[in-house]
Every structure is written in C-alpha cells, then in structure tokens.
C-alpha cells in the first residue's frame, strides 16, 4: 500500500448555503460549452457589434467636444438647425444602443442555437437526472443552473458590452452630464438582456427537455425562429398588397367621381353643345375625325372594373399613398407578432425608447429639409421652376418610419412572450419530472 | 436509528409499490433484499425524499422524509444502479462536480475528489473522460461521487453490477470498511446475496411492497438445535424410513438427510438409531440457515 494512502478520511470543511447551489450547474455547463470551437468563435464574432457601439459613442463624444466635424456643427448651429449637440445626445446614444441590440439579437439567437440544445437533452439521454436530484438541490435549482448558462453567455455578448460601452462613452465625452442624460440606457439594457435570457432561455430549455437528441432540438429552435419570421414576413406582404389594392380602389373611385363631375359640368353647357353631346355614344372609343372645328369632347367615363385600370394611376403617387396608409395603420398591425425575434425586438424598442429617439432626430432632419427646400425651391420630385413652391410640411416621424421602428403596442409582444414563457415552464415541469415515477 | 417508516404507502397509478410498510432499521451496514418489483428502489427514493408518499410517516437519520428532504440528501450519498455519467467530463471533474452540487467550494471539492478517487482505486484514469471508462471504473466513480461530501448514510444500489471478481471484492471491502471502520451507515441493495452477507450485519427483505423479514443476519442464520444434516455411508432411504418410525421429520436431499428431531430428543437418538440399523454416520451437524434460505423462505 502506498504511504500516501490514508484510507477513508472524514471531511470537515464548510458548505455553502443552498441559495447558490445552482451556480455549480452553471459553471459546469459553461465549462462544457466553452470547449466547443464554434461557440468560442461565435462569441468573438458577437463582440463585433459591441466594438461598433463603442466606436459610435466615442465618435459622438469627440463630435460633442468639437474634435471631429467642428465645421459641420458650426454650420448647423449657425443655420438654427441644432441649438446644441447636448440636446441630441440622448437620442444618438439611444439609437446607437438600439441598433446594437438589433444586430446583437441575431448573434444571441445563434449562440442559443449552439449552446442550448444539449443543456437538458444530454442529461435525459445519459440518465443524469438522478445525479442532480439525489443531491441537495431542487428542480428549480436545476433549471436555474441550466438557464444560467444561457444567461452568462447573453450577458457576455450583450449586457456587459453595453455597460463597457457606456463607461467608454462617458470617458470619451469628458462630460459628466452625459450620465444625467443617458443613465436610463443602463437599466434598460440590463432589463432587455433579462427579457432575452428569460424568454429565449426558457423556450430553449423547454425544447431541450423534449428530446434526447440535441440535433433535433437545434433544428426545432432554428425552425421556430426562421419559420415564425417568414410567416410574419408573408403576412406583412399580404397586408401591403391589400393596402395597395385599397389605394387603387379609392383612386379609381375618386377618378370616376371626377369624371362624373366633369360630365355634369358639360351637360350644363349651352343647348347646341348638349344636343350634340346627347347624341354621342360614350361606350365606343373616340375616333379621330378630320372634321373641323372639333366639337367639345365629352370626358370618357372609366368602366367600373376595367382590367389594368390601376396601371393608369400614377405609380409613384400610388406608392406614396400606400406608404401613407401603411404608416397610418402600423399601430394596429399585428402581423409582426408571429415572428419570435420581432416580439423581442419590440420589447427592446419599448425599453430603450427607440421611437422617441428617432422622432427627435427626425425633427432636426425635417427642420433642415424644409429650410433647404424653401430656400432653393426644390420639390420632392426634383427641381421646380416654381419659385413660389412651398416645401412639404415637416414630418418628424419620417426617420422612425424609414427605419421601421415598430409602432404596435409593446404589450402585445409582451403578451406573446409571456404566453411562450408559460408554455415553456409547463413543458419543463412535465418533462423534467422528479424521480417520482416507476422507471 | 438509521431510518424508520410507519405505514408508508406509495402508489404509481394502479401499481402499489409500498403497502403500509413499517420498519425500524438500526445504524450500521444494512442489506436490502427483495425480488424484482419488491419496492426496493421506491424505498430508496422514499428515504432520499425524492418521491411523495401517499400515506405514512418516516424519518431518516432523525429527519422527516416529507419536510426535510434537502437536509436528508445532504446527509446521504447515493450511488444509483443506472448509468448516469454524462460524457465529455473527466472522472476527477465529475467527482468534484458532485461535491459542488452538495455545497462544497470548487477547490475543496477538487481536493476531496482526489482523496476519494484514491480511496476507491481510480488511479490515473481519473483524468480520462468518463465515456472511456469500463463498467467497473464507472461503478467506482459513482461510489466516489456518492462519498465525496462525506455522507452519514451511503446508499448503494447494485454497486457490483458488471464488475470483475477482483474489482467486486475491492468494492465490497471498501463498503465493509466504511460501515465497520468509518462510522458510516450503509444501505446495500443487491441481488447478490453473498455480497450482502459480506458487507452487512443487518438485512431487510421486501416483497410486493411489504416487509417480509428483517433482523441481524447472525440471528437469522442461527443454528437449529433440533434440526440436523445427516449423511450415512449406505442405504439412506432405509435409514430415513427408520427415523420416521421414531417420529422424526425427515427430508431427503441429494446426498444427505435433513432430520428434525421430535421434541425432547437430542442427537443421541440419531446415533442409537444408526447403531441399531448398522449404519455409519459420516456427517452430522446442526442445520444453519444460509442467507439464501432466509431470503427464499421470506418471499415464499
């Protein structure tokens, strides 16, 4: 027997409290996940948007200090477009954070795809649940531990970079009033990260508990994200098409009314004309006649449902009207609710206040546009010879509309995500049972 | 008292796994015997607080099985029968992980895991992934994982399954040493009666969810003073006939006779009857039950 073999010795060390037992599961899960080459690669790639965020905040800080773009800022100030850059600070930071999260969300979903599927399915496959459940931990600890793996990864690529970016942004601005203007972004980012973790994490855990094969879980997750996005996209296209048809119908009706009015006007002319007019056959196309003088031409009434009628309608005008209708009805557009990613994005926009930020920037942009157009007599369609041209009224929402900032109530998305969360918890509680069963 | 159950009933739908089971078991090495479906696994899960019993009360190490489940699991180490090792983890990490799940810090758990792996005889293999382990190594690792937090009660469910004779003997000696030399109680569930006999001092036998027998193995295997195993040189059936005429109860076995003497008689009767019949008694010893006999008798 080796001299160092002292046989079994009792252990008299100190145990940690029960509250943090789940951390052991998280640590072990992370250790296993980070062994994967693709996970490490994706983590590095997922930090790229964070670099862009830091750069954007740093550049804005330098602009505020006048180190960058000083001439442009002076010009804008002199023309009364911007009063001072500090008033735009909150909007610029919010938009930077919003764009960061928009891009990062896709990295997060990809990261969850790589790391989530085997979190529970592997334990089910190798019958490891007795190992956990026969220890002094509860099922809740087990779930928290597994969820913690996703939480740490999301925090590493989304929440921590935003906090680091915030600090760097404050440093580059060399102005502590930045904190006063932008502090809301910090809790909003943390809360948004929490929403992503809870929603995507529990959904992935629920999927992971439904199969012993990680591959099937991964495919289901990808299918859920992609198919839900495609369904929402198709429904959105159908909506635009129906708006287009509606606009065409309305334009057609307006044109018909106009023609009817013209007809009435012609009928009320002197009798000679009207007699001749009454003898005319309106249903036949007009033929060119050599006779002169040309009798007054009655307007041709459009047939009620002539094929290709909408083509006559000016295409640009039609697009403008469709866009107008689209914008008008965005607040009640429920189609994005079908897309899982869009729902998370909607909550992010609500938490960060993206819409208000775009409106603020849009206000400045429109002020400048109206100013320039009024001075130069520029119409939206090009140069105008009319020096009395009046610029289109300012639309402060133009940028928000351009960037498709979601307008429907965020509570709808919250309700969808809450429903998914409830379903996930239900699946988890039934699939990962205790050992209270025969086999 | 190691554990004590009163009128415990547990059903799974139409199946009743434990029927009003009442048992008091003292500390020490306890064997758990019973045929398949007897309720052994359900009993173990009840003791660990892993299942909700339908009726009855119970205590393990003076802790209530209904209310103090986590405390019980803290004080109990369990090595399940099923394979429960997930791949991609080295043996040492696996054992340390088991310690961390019980609340040990990472460094403590790692140090303790090394000690225990030394103890169970898992040498350099501890640095290999567990998916490359043989069945015997896996059994050792499961035992180490159950021991890592120094439990007061160690529950071993078929710990020698799939082990070679030498490995099996080592595990049995380890279990025996823990129970007899390290003040740790062991609940040893196995189908291999010699294993139970080697490790345990006390045994409980379950059948169809009921307690069929329990007691110290030494007492259960007590000598039967009125019952003897007799082997004669020549005509055994004729000698048996003669014994029956003298009011003995005789059971003929392959090469011997199992003789139960009438009340008030001693083995002298056998000698005198043999002398009268001209038989030579070649083998005579008081009958002693084996554990197998106890088990078979209990489940009859």
In a domain, B229, yes or no: yes
Which residues on chain B are in Cβ contact (under 8 Å) with A10? 150, 182
For residue A219, what pLDDT is reported? Answer: 94
Give A153's contacts (C-beta < 8 A, 6+ positions apart). A30, A33, A43, A111, A112, A115
Q: CB-based contact (8 Å) between A386 and chain B?
A: no
pLDDT range class, residue B255, cuts 50, 70, 90: confident
* CB-CB under 8 Å, A136 with B84: no
Suggest the residue from A5, A8, A123 to mutate for an interface test with chain B (most B CBs closer than 10 A): A8
Cα of A168 to nearest chain B Cα, Å: 34
Q: What 3-state DSSP class applies to B225?
A: strand
Highest-confidence segment of A27-36, A378-387, B80-89: A27-36
In a domain, A225, yes or no: yes
Verify that B144 and B172 share a domain, yes or no: yes
Q: CB-based contact (8 Å) between A37 and chain B?
A: no
The mean-pLDDT minimum among A78-92, A155-169, B122-136 falls in: A78-92
Cα of A437 to nearest chain B Cα, Å: 7
Are the beta carbons of A161 and A53 closer than 8 angstroms? yes
Verify that B144 and B191 share a domain, yes or no: yes
Closest residue in B to A122 (Cα–Cα): B86
Q: Angle formed by the axes of helices A37-46 and A86-115, to 10°?
A: 170
Mean per-residue pLDDT, B133-157: 92
Query: How far apart are alpha carbons B110 and A366 in whole angstroms?
Result: 65
Verify that B234 and B202 share a domain, yes or no: no
In a domain, A7, yes or no: no
Domain of residue A201 covers 18-254+312-437
Verify that B168 and B240 share a domain, yes or no: no
Query: How far apart are alpha carbons A190 and A183 in whole angstroms?
Result: 12
Of all helices (H) and strands (E), which one includes residue B64?
strand B63-64
Taking alpha carbons only, the member of A110, A87, A98 closest to residue A162 is A98
For residue A107, what pLDDT is reported? Answer: 94
Q: What is the CATH number of the domain that holds B207?
A: 3.40.50.300
The structural domain count of chain A equals: 1
Closest residue in A to B144 (Cα–Cα): A8
In a domain, A147, yes or no: yes
Which residues on chain A are in Cβ contact (under 8 Å) with B73? 134-136
In a domain, B45, yes or no: yes
Cα of B206 to nearest chain A Cα, Å: 17
* CB-CB under 8 Å, B103 with A17: yes
In a domain, A279, yes or no: no
Is the pLDDT reported for residue B62 higher than 60?
yes
Ranges of H-type helices in B30-164: 40-48, 69-75, 91-101, 106-120, 135-147
Verify that B198 and B251 share a domain, yes or no: no
Last residue of a domain, one of B195, B219, B243: B219
Domain of residue B85 covers 3-219
Verify that B177 and B245 share a domain, yes or no: no
Verify that B213 and B143 share a domain, yes or no: yes
In a domain, A4, yes or no: no
Tally of CB atoms within 10 A around B118: 18
Verify that B65 and B123 share a domain, yes or no: yes
What are the structure tokens assigned to B163, written together? 């082990």
Query: How far apart are alpha carbons A202 and A420 in whole angstroms?
Result: 9
Verify that B76 and B196 share a domain, yes or no: yes
Separation of CA B238 from chain center:
41
Which residues on chain B are in Cβ contact (under 8 Å) with A14? 105, 108
Query: How far apart are alpha carbons A76 and B71 in whole angstroms?
Result: 71
In a domain, B298, yes or no: no
Q: What is the CATH number of the domain that holds B277?
A: 3.30.70
* CB-CB under 8 Å, A5 with B101: no
Is the pLDDT reported for residue A317 higher than 80?
no
In a domain, A290, yes or no: no
Calculate the CA dihedral of residues A25, A28, A30, A32 and round it to 10 degrees.
-130
Q: Which of residues 106-165 of A touch B (CB under 8 A)?
A: 122-123, 126-138
Verify that B145 and B175 share a domain, yes or no: yes
In a domain, B23, yes or no: yes
- 3-class DSSP string for chain A: CCCCCCCCCCCCCCCCCHHHCHHHHHHHHHHHHCCCHHHHHHHHHHCHHHHHHHHHHHHHHHHHHCCCCHHHHHHHHHCCCCCCCHHHHHHHHHHHHHHHHHHHHHHHHHHHHHHCCHHHHHHHHCCCHHHHHCCCCCHHHHHHHHHHHHHHHHHHHHHHHHHHHHHHHHHHHCCCHHHHHHCCHHHHHHHHHHHHHHHHHHHHHHHHCCCCCHHHHHHHHHHHHHHHHHHHHHHHHHHHHHHHHHHHHHHHHHHHHHHHHHHHHHHCCCHHHHHHHHHCCCCCCCCCCCCCCCCCCCCCCCCCCCCCHHHHCCHHHHHHHHHHHHHHCHHHCCHHHHCHHHHHHHHHHHHHCHHHHHHHHHHHHHHHHHHHHHHHCEECCEECCCCCCCCCCCCCCHHHHHCCCCCCCHHHHHHHHHHHHHHHHHHHHHHCCCCCCCC
For residue A8, what pLDDT is reported? Answer: 83
* CB-CB under 8 Å, B83 with A127: yes
CB-based burial label for B42 (10 Å; 0-12, 13-18, 19+): buried
The mean-pLDDT minimum among A56-70, A100-114, B66-80, B110-124 falls in: A56-70
Q: How many CA atoms lie within 13 A of B258 on its CB side?
A: 8
Verify that B147 and B43 share a domain, yes or no: yes
Residue among A5, A7, A13 minimizing CB distance to B104: A13
What are the structure tokens assigned to B83, written together? 């394979």
Is the pLDDT reported for residue B4 higher than 60?
yes
Last residue of a domain, one of B219, B245, B269: B219
* CB-CB under 8 Å, B147 with A8: yes
Mean per-residue pLDDT, B181-186: 88
The structural domain count of chain B equals: 2
Chain segment A167-210, per-residue pLDDT in tens? 998 888 888 888 888 999 999 999 999 999 999 999 999 999 99
Chain segment A119-176, per-residue pLDDT in tens? 999 998 988 888 888 899 988 999 999 999 999 999 999 999 999 999 998 888 888 8
Last residue of a domain, one of B176, B202, B219: B219
In a domain, A386, yes or no: yes
Verify that B51 and B189 share a domain, yes or no: yes
């Amino acid at each position: 027997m080796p001299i160092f073999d002292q046989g079994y010795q009792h252990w008299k060390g100190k145990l940690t409290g029960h509250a943090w037992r789940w951390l052991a599961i998280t640590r072990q899960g992370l250790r296993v996940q980070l062994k994967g080459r693709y996970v490490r690669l994706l983590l590095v790639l997922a930090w790229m948007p964070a670099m862009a965020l830091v750069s954007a905040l740093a550049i804005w800080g330098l602009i505020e200090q006048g180190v960058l773009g000083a001439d442009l800022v002076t010009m804008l100030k002199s023309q009364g477009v911007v009063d001072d850059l500090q008033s735009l600070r909150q909007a610029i930071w919010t938009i930077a954070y919003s764009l960061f999260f928009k891009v990062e969300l896709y990295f997060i979903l990809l990261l969850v795809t790589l790391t989530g599927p085997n979190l529970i399915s592997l334990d089910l496959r190798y019958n490891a649940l007795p190992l956990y459940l026969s220890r002094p931990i509860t099922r809740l600890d087990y779930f928290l531990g597994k969820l913690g793996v996703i939480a740490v990864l999301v925090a590493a690529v989304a929440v921590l970079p935003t906090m680091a970016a915030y600090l760097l942004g404050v440093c580059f601005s060399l102005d502590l009033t930045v904190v006063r203007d932008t502090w809301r972004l910090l809790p909003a980012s943390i809360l948004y990260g929490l929403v992503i973790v809870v929603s995507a994490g529990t959904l992935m855990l629920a999927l992971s508990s439904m199969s012993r094969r990680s591959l099937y879980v991964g495919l289901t997750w990808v299918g859920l994200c992609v198919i839900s996005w495609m369904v929402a996209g198709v429904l959105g296209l159908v909506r635009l098409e129906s708006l287009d048809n509606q606009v065409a119908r309305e334009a057609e009706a307006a044109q018909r009314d106009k023609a009817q009015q013209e007809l009435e006007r012609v009928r009320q002319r002197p009798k000679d004309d009207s007699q001749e007019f009454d003898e005319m056959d309106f249903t036949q196309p007009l033929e060119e006649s050599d006779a002169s003088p040309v009798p007054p031409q009655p307007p041709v009434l459009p047939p009620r449902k002539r094929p290709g009628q909408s083509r006559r309608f000016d295409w640009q005008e039609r697009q403008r009207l469709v866009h107008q209708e689209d914008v008008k009805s965005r607040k009640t557009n429920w189609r994005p609710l079908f897309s899982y990613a869009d729902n998370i994005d909607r909550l992010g926009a609500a938490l960060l206040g993206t819409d208000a930020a775009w409106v603020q920037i849009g206000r400045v942009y429109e002020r400048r546009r109206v100013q320039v157009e009024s001075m130069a007599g520029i119409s939206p369609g090009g140069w105008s010879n009319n020096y009395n041209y009046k610029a289109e009224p300012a639309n402060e929402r133009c940028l928000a509309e351009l960037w498709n900032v979601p307008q429907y109530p965020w509570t709808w998305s919250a309700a969808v995500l809450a429903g998914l969360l409830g379903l996930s918890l239900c699946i988890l509680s039934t699939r990962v049972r205790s050992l209270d069963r025969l086999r | 008292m190691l554990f004590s159950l009163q009128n415990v009933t547990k059903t799974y739908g139409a199946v009743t796994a434990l029927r009003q089971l009442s048992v008091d078991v003292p500390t020490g090495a306890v064997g758990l015997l019973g045929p398949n479906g007897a309720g052994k696994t359900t009993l173990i899960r009840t003791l660990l607080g892993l299942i909700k019993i339908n009726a009855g009360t119970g205590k393990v190490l003076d802790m209530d099985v209904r209310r103090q489940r986590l405390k019980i699991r803290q004080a109990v180490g369990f090595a399940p029968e099923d394979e429960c090792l997930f791949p991609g983890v080295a043996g040492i990490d696996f054992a340390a992980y088991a310690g961390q799940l019980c609340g040990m810090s990472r460094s403590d758990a790692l140090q303790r895991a090394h000690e225990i792996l030394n103890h169970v005889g898992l040498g350099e293999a501890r640095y290999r992934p567990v998916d490359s382990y043989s069945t015997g190594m896996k059994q050792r690792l499961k035992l180490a994982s159950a021991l890592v937090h120094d439990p007061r009660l160690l529950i071993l469910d078929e710990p020698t399954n799939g082990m070679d004779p030498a490995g099996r003997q080592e595990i049995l000696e380890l279990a025996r040493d823990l129970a007899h030399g390290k003040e740790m109680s062991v609940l040893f569930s196995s189908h291999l009666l010699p294993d139970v006999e080697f490790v345990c001092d006390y045994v409980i036998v379950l059948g169809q969810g009921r307690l069929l027998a329990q007691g110290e193995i030494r007492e259960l295997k007590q000598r039967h003073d009125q019952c003897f195993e007799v082997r004669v040189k020549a005509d055994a059936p004729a000698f048996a006939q003669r014994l029956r005429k003298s009011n003995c109860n005789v059971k003929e076995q392959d090469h011997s006779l199992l003789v139960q003497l009438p009340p008030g008689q001693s083995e002298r009767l056998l000698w005198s009857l043999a002398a009268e019949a001209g038989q030579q008694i070649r083998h005579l010893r008081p009958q002693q039950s084996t554990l197998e006999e106890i088990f078979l008798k209990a489940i009859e």
